């Protein structure tokens, strides 16, 4: 289904928990407010099934930390019966070493792993935890399990990790992963001060990467993201959503919050649509209407 701006809605990003075992100081928590409900395994699966009626083909699980849910493999197994093109998940990687094989077995296609630094001290400062080694083990397990392409998500933070870009490119390539350099987003009012202090423009870094690239791929259906191929085969993707109308004009995404609301835009909480209540009441027409209404409420933020 297309929204009123002609944008097809093909991907659904589902937050399956708001709990996390890390405490990254910049985290936008997917733009979700604290909720008082939790979707059950079967409810998540049903919502995915109904979403396919509207042309959703790609599912991404997020959180909080999605691997904190014991039933994550079960959820994936259930939705992998539906006709979907892509099932992926984004994780902080701290629990991945033990889970990668089973996630693949359950039907997960690929994975994104957050990694802002290769420096243990800095990692602890950013996340509040000393688990960098666990994340590295998780990355290796994901590659071994075939959850590919594995993408490493790095938020570039002013005065913090800009000087590590080269090391992160080399590290990613050495593991056979793609590096995604992501601009810090200002999402909730609470992260305004963090944004002011740590936000940096990625243009300069992108320019330097572009100069040495031997190839560029523009992913038109993925918010016009650019992927650069470097001489040694290293792959680097740049994601710069802030004040980027082109990014919004190619957005194909709908979201579900961990407490069961359809969320038309990461940046807003004033246009949510409750989809869990009608699902729990067994009112399937209203579930469908909720999807239609959420798609109707989609608007480019920039």
Which of 114, 141, 160, 161 is close enough to bind ligand SAM by CB under 6 A? 114
258 binds ligand SAM (CB under 6 A): no
Residue (of 91, 268, 297, 256) closest to 185 by Cα position: 268
CA–CA gap between residue 120 and residue 255 (Å, rounded): 33
Q: How far is the CB of 182 from ligand SAM (least distance, A)?
A: 5
Alpha-carbon dihedral sign for residues 189, 12, 181, 243: negative
Nearer to ligand SAM, 92 or 160 (CB): 92
In whole angstroms, the minimum distance from the beta carbon of 188 to ligand SAM comes to 9
Stretch that binds ligand SAM, among 39-47, 117-125, 160-168, 178-186 (CB under 6 A): 178-186
Encode 250-261 in three state secondary structure: CCCEEEECCCCE
11 or 29: whose CB is closer to ligand SAM? 29
Q: Which of 141, 153, 223, 258 binds ligand SAM (CB under 6 A)?
A: 153
- Calpha distance 63→61 (Å, rounded): 7
Query: For residues 180-209, which are near ligand SAM according to CB under 6 A?
Result: 182, 184-185, 187, 191
Q: Which residue, 156 or 275, is less far from ligand SAM as judged by CB? A: 156
CB 64, min distance to ligand SAM, A: 6
In order, the DSSP letters of the chain are -B-TTS-B--EEEEE--S--S---TT--GGGPPP-S----HHHHHHHHHHHHTTT--EEEEESS-GGGSTTHHHHHHHHTTS--SEEEEEE-STTHHHHHHHHHHHT--EEEEE---S-HHHHHHHHSS--HHHHHHHHHHHHHHT--SEEEEEEE-TTTTGGGHHHHHHHHHHHT-EEEEEE----SGGGHHHHHHH---SHHHHHHHHHHEEEEEEETTTTTEEEEEETTS-EEEEE--TT-HHHHHT--EEEE-TTSEEES-TT-SSS-EE-HHHHHTT-HHHHHHHHHHHHHT-----
CB of 115 to ligand SAM, least distance (A): 9
The residue within the footprint of ligand SAM, chosen from 62, 117, 141, 172 (CB under 6 A), is 62
Site membership for ligand SAM, residue 73 (CB under 6 A): no
68 binds ligand SAM (CB under 6 A): no
How many chain residues bind ligand SAM (CB under 6 A)? Answer: 20
Using CB under 6 A, which of 10, 17, 88, 92 touches ligand SAM? 92
Choose between 1 and 224: whose C-beta lies nearer to ligand SAM.
Answer: 224
Taking CB under 6 A as the rule, does residue 138 contact ligand SAM? Answer: no
User: Which residues inside 215-254 make contact with ligand SAM, applying CB under 6 A?
Assistant: none
Report the binding-site residues for [4Fe-4S] cluster: 20, 24, 27, 248, 251, 265
Site residues (CB under 6 A) for ligand SAM?
A: 20, 26-30, 62-63, 65, 90-92, 114, 153, 155, 182, 184-185, 187, 191
Annotated binding site: 13, 20, 24, 26-27, 60, 64, 90, 114, 151, 248, 251, 253-255, 265
Annotated binding site for S-adenosyl-L-methionine: 26, 64, 114
């Amino acid at each position: 289904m297309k929204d009123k701006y002609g944008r097809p809605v093909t991907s659904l990003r589902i937050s399956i928990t708001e709990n996390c075992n890390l405490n990254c100081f910049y985290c936008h928590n997917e733009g979700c407010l604290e909720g008082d409900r939790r979707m059950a395994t079967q409810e998540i699966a049903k919502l995915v099934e109904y979403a396919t009626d509207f042309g959703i083909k790609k599912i991404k699980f997020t959180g909080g930390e999605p691997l904190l849910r014991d039933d994550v493999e079960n959820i994936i197994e259930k939705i992998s019966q539906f006709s979907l093109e892509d099932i992926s998940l984004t994780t902080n990687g701290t629990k991945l070493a033990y889970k990668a094989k089973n996630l693949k077995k359950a039907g997960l296609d690929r994975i994104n792993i957050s990694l802002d630094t290769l420096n243990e001290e800095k990692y602890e400062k950013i996340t509040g935890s000393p688990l960098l080694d666990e994340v590295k083990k998780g990355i290796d397990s994901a590659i071994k399990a075939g959850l590919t392409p594995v993408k490493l998500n790095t938020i570039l933070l002013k005065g913090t990790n800009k000087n590590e870009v080269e090391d992160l490119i080399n590290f990613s390539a050495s593991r056979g992963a793609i590096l995604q350099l992501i601009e810090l987003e200002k999402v909730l009012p609470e992260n305004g001060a963090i944004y002011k202090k740590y936000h940096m423009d990625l243009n300069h870094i992108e320019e330097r990467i572009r100069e040495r690239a031997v190839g560029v791929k523009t992913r038109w259906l993925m918010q016009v993201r650019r992927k650069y191929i470097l001489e040694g085969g290293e792959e680097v993707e740049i994601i710069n959503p802030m004040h980027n109308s082109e990014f919004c004009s190619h957005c194909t995404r709908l979201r579900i919050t961990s407490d069961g609301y359809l969320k038309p835009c990461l940046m807003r909480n004033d246009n949510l649509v409750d989809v869990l209540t009608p699902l729990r009441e067994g009112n399937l027409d209203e579930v469908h209407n909720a999807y239609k209404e959420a798609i109707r409420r989609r608007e480019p933020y920039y």
